[in-house]
Chains A and B, each alone.
Chain A
Amino acid sequence: MIVLQQLINGLQLGSIYSLIALGYSMVYGIIMLLNFAHGDIIMVGGYIALLIIGAGIHPAVAIIAAIVGCMVLACVIEKAAYAPLRKAPRISLLITAIGVSFFLENVAQLLLSANPRSFPNTAIIPTANFNLGSLNISLTTLVTLAVAIVSMALLTVLVNRTKMGKAMRAVSEDMGAAQLMGINVNRTITFTFAIGAVLAGIGAILYCCKYPQVKPTTGYLLGMKAFVAAVLGGIGSIPGAMLGGLAIGMAEVIVNALGYTTWADAVVYVILILVLLIKPTGFLGRTMSEKV
């Protein structure tokens, strides 16, 4: 029973990682950028929700504002920081992403101080527990799983069944050819960032409901883990990111359950190193050949 209990915990954490890893993976798939600012967008989403609920406004408004805020922020970052570097070497883009990440963390620290603030999680998902035999499942867990599953299902439909999704896949496979087919590449890239950020915004709310506090560096470790999840699943692959997120969540929960709590974060990095050593393409990644 304890195994099943941990399995559910792992699923909850893992599905949050999956949501965030998707943004990493999609952006990498389309412009080969490891968007290290992605994690910090989550922190911003957390703060937006926290501040709006703190001001006494309905939590539903806060959730929508957080998701929309993440989306707008990601689009602004893309236009201001990444779009001018479209033809620059990939390394410039990567360094810019790290710069944007530091920028967001430090602006948050400047405006909101470095002290962690507690997140009003009960305003969003009320405390409730369901007991199934000795199994104890919180409402937060159920909501997290349901929201994550619905989001990922919608994303899958969007990517596979709509013209925007086809444009995204076309641009990620061959930007030049997509352009010659009349696809507006810039718009498609912005769209990809927006979708990734919406998922990150949803992830932000769910994460803050599980670990109810926000600080300027909240996004750092979370982003790193999501990044490892994306690499593990095969960066650029959407089902891979989902799978990788779940695997990382499970691994973390298992390590915690075995009593090695202090090792939980280290294990994630060990996984990264092992993946890069043994199977750099991850579970579902395709071997990328350099385009000429």
Chain B
Amino acid sequence: MSERLHALGPKGFIPERDLDKTPVLETHHLGIDFGGLTAVNEFEITIGRTEITGLIGPNGAGKTTVFNLLTNVYKPTRGNILLDGVSTAGKSTAQLCRMGIARTFQNIRLFKDMSVIDNILVGLHHEMDYSLPEAVLRLPRFWRGEKIARKRAMELLGIFRMEDTAETPAGSLPYGAQRRLEILRALATNPSILLLDEPAAGMNPSETAELMENIRRIRDTFQIAVLLIEHDMSLVMGICEGIAVLNFGQIIAKGTPEEIRNNPAVIEAYLGKQKEV
């Protein structure tokens, strides 16, 4: 396995336009054990500043675990993570968010009882710098902070043309809109890398196509990197500049969509090994 890895270069893939800059995310020897079980091992990835990267693999391969490691929801057993060149070890999940990593969830985790705009405003929490006394006394800084944040929230909703639903409870939105809102909420935290956990789950082909377009548009508008977990191969192959394939917690292949499509290890992981003759 490792020979294959090195054949593709130990640093993985960085599109040419990003070569001169520090990668937004780098991991070295990242791994985690749950009790005696190694869930993720030797996970190495380098993601350029405006790169869209796909993380694929069969069910149970450890993809979501990788997301949880990257956001420090799980503390890594081994290895380290560099976000914008800075190690994330010892940082809390909330601190990491402020350092520029944001994510969505496989099973949507919006604040369902809160309105759509309030969900976004939670993401904009740190944009508002007023203190409690200022809020209670309704001082100018409170109004200014709230006003700017609300304006920003409406702009974000505008990305998906969701301004009309601003005051609707998030839980009552249709499924697709909830997925889109989760992306916007993550964007509100002003990330430099956006982690999307199965953004197209439950979407029909036309919705998926629209989502692809939107992910690309978000990357271009915000100049951020995207790392996405996805089972929909049309999406992954369609928008990702680089793909990493995970199986049993190990990266078995990295490369461009073209390279991945023809990689025997990947085909084996997905379809099973051919009987030796």
Residues of A within 8 A of B (CB): 154, 158, 161-164, 166-167, 169-170, 173-174, 176-185, 286
Contacts and interface: CB of A to CB of B under 8 A. Distances in A.
A180 B71 contact: yes
Contact of A174 (B111, B132, B189): B111
Given A170-B114, A174-B111, A181 B135 contact: no
B125 interface: yes
Size category of the binding interface on chain B: 35 or more
A163 B73 contact: no
B135 to A, nearest CB: 4
A176 B73 contact: yes
B114 A166 contact: yes
A177 B109 contact: yes
Interface of B: 71, 73, 92-94, 97-98, 102-103, 105, 109-114, 118, 121-123, 125-126, 128, 130, 132, 135-136, 142, 145-146, 149, 185-186, 188-189
Contacts of A167: 122, 125
B97 A180 contact: yes
A163 B121 contact: yes
A184 B113 CA distance: 20
24 contacts: A154-B136, A161-B146, A163-B145, A163-B149, A164-B132, A166-B114, A166-B122, A169-B113, A173-B114, A174-B111, A177-B105, A178-B122, A179-B94, A180-B71, A180-B93, A180-B97, A180-B103, A181-B186, A182-B94, A182-B97, A182-B98, A182-B189, A183-B125, A286-B113
Given A166-B125, A169-B118, A180-B71, 14 more contacts: A158-B135, A163-B125, A166-B121, A167-B125, A169-B114, A170-B114, A173-B112, A177-B109, A177-B110, A180-B97, A181-B122, A181-B123, A182-B98, A184-B92
A177 B146 CA distance: 22
Contacts of A166: 114, 118, 121-122, 125
Contacts of B189: 181-182
A177 B110 CA distance: 8
B97 A181 contact: yes
A174 B111 CA distance: 7
Nearest to B108: A177
B111 A173 contact: yes
A180 B95 CA distance: 9
Nearest to A164: B132
| Residue of A173, A180, A181, A183 contacting most chain B CB atoms (<10 Å) | A180
A277 B103 CA distance: 41
A268 B186 CA distance: 46
4 closest cross-chain pairs (CB), A and B: A182-B97, A177-B109, A179-B93, A162-B135
A179 B189 CA distance: 12
Nearest to B128: A163
Contacts of B135: 158, 162-164
The secondary-structure label for the interface of chain A is helix
Nearest to B185: A181
A42 B130 CA distance: 30
Contact of A158 (B94, B110, B136, B185): B136
B95 to A, nearest CB: 8
A203 to B, nearest CB: 19
B73 A180 contact: yes
Nearest to B132: A164
Nearest to B71: A180
Nearest to A165: B135
Contacts of A174: 109, 111
Contacts of A180: 71, 73, 93-94, 97, 102-103
Contacts of B136: 154, 158
B99 to A, nearest CB: 9
Contacts of A178: 111, 122
A180 B149 CA distance: 19
A183 B96 CA distance: 11
A186 B110 CA distance: 20
B109 A181 contact: no
Contacts of A164: 132, 135
Contacts of B185: 181
A169 B170 CA distance: 13
Contacts of A181: 97, 102, 122-123, 125, 185-186, 188-189
Contacts of B121: 163, 166
A263 B222 CA distance: 66
Contacts of B132: 162, 164
B38 to A, nearest CB: 22
A158 B146 CA distance: 13
A170 B109 contact: no
B64 to A, nearest CB: 13
A205 to B, nearest CB: 19
A178 B97 CA distance: 10
A185 B94 contact: yes
